[in-house]
Amino acid sequence: MRMRPTLSWAPTQDWPSATTDLEPVTDALSTGGVLVLSGAGISTESGIPDYRGEGGSLSRHTPMTYQEFTADDRARRRYWARSHLGWRTFGRALPNAGHRAVAAFGRHGLLTGVITQNVDGLHQTAGSESVVELHGSLERVACLSCGTFSPRRELAERLEEANAGFDPVAAAINPDGDADLTDEQVGDFRVLPCRLCGGILKPDVVFFGENVPPQRVEHCRTLVREATSLLVLGSSLTVMSGLRFVRLAVEAGKPVLIINRDPTRGDRHAVTRVALPLGTALTTVAERLGAPMKE
């Protein structure tokens, strides 16, 4: 599956209206077998901005594409300088009530799994199991030449040593861990190669314009087919990598429920969209279901 660099989407006038009624979500979870599909919106309450919501990063920032990253060493220098600075903040983010509620649903046997479009690892930190990271994880680094994976923290330590004194003030941190820096702030930031073969290092995340591994996609399709319903949390579903699972669920006769404050590209396929903050909404549902959340 290739991630299309779709950066914007707008609903038409006849788009379905939203509700604040959480009963359909509570009812779906009470029967179990729910598959969660989460997006950047679930992490905003952890201090990580989303892409397309109010104040979203796409209003000021265009994500790096795979083609640009692999073809241009200046682009890689810019990316790694920004990503290294962003990692310092990104790596300190903690799960919020939304993540903890999803973990509580899982502990009580209400979920079949979690597919997340996020690369922050906060679902796992909150205690969720069986999480499929559709777009990868910032916790790992891959060599594009020899295929070796290594911990991001290991590379961060190497970059700190190679770029002593690098400490610019970023305008903002983005959902992919990228920090907003000017070219002057990037300066002559030193990019490091793979220790084993000298190849190009890239975070183990799917850039815009890059393919999601086919086996990962097929695994997600299987999860959708096996679920009783699909619950979308904090995703605009603008990119096809997430929207196609909504369409697959509908084709398979599985109800789709969405919690997202703004309209999504999947609203026409959903039985309901709840326009409430995720932390508040999911905490309420957890309380109704008697699924206590861990701090």
| 31-44 pLDDT tens trace | 999 999 999 999 99
Q: Of 84, 123, 135, 269, which is the active-site residue?
A: 135
Question: Region 88-111: what's the mean pLDDT?
Answer: 92
Question: Region 39-51: what's the mean pLDDT?
Answer: 86
Distance, in Å, from the CA atom of 249 to the CA atom of 251, rounded to the nearest integer, reads 5
Q: Supply the pLDDT for residue 49.
A: 78
Residue located via tokens 């999803």: 102
Q: Is the pLDDT reported for residue 251 higher than 60?
A: yes
Q: How confident is the model at residue 118 (pLDDT cuts 50, 70, 90)?
A: very high
| Lowest-confidence segment of 22-26, 52-56, 154-158, 242-246 by average pLDDT | 52-56
Q: Supply the pLDDT for residue 13.
A: 61
What DSSP line would sit under 55-111, residue for residue? T-GGGT-PPPBHHHHHH-HHHHHHHHHHHHHHHHHHTT----HHHHHHHHHHHTT-E
Q: Supply the pLDDT for residue 171.
A: 67
- Residue ranges of the binding site for Zn(2+): 143, 146, 194, 197
Q: Is the pLDDT reported for residue 176 higher than 50?
A: yes
Q: Supply the pLDDT for residue 208.
A: 83
Q: Is the pLDDT reported for residue 45 higher than 50?
A: yes
135 is catalytic: yes
Structural domains of the chain in order of their starting residue, each with its CATH number: 20-48+95-135+212-295 (3.40.50.1220), 58-92+138-205 (3.30.1600)
- Residue ranges of the binding site for NAD(+): 39-59, 117-120, 234-236, 278
- Residue ranges of the binding site: 39-59, 117-120, 143, 146, 194, 197, 234-236, 278
Q: Is the pLDDT reported for residue 168 higher than 50?
A: yes
Q: Is the pLDDT reported for residue 64 higher than 70?
A: yes
Amino acid at 3: M
Q: How confident is the model at residue 3 (pLDDT cuts 50, 70, 90)?
A: very low
| Lowest-confidence segment of 51-65, 226-240, 250-264, 275-289 by average pLDDT | 51-65
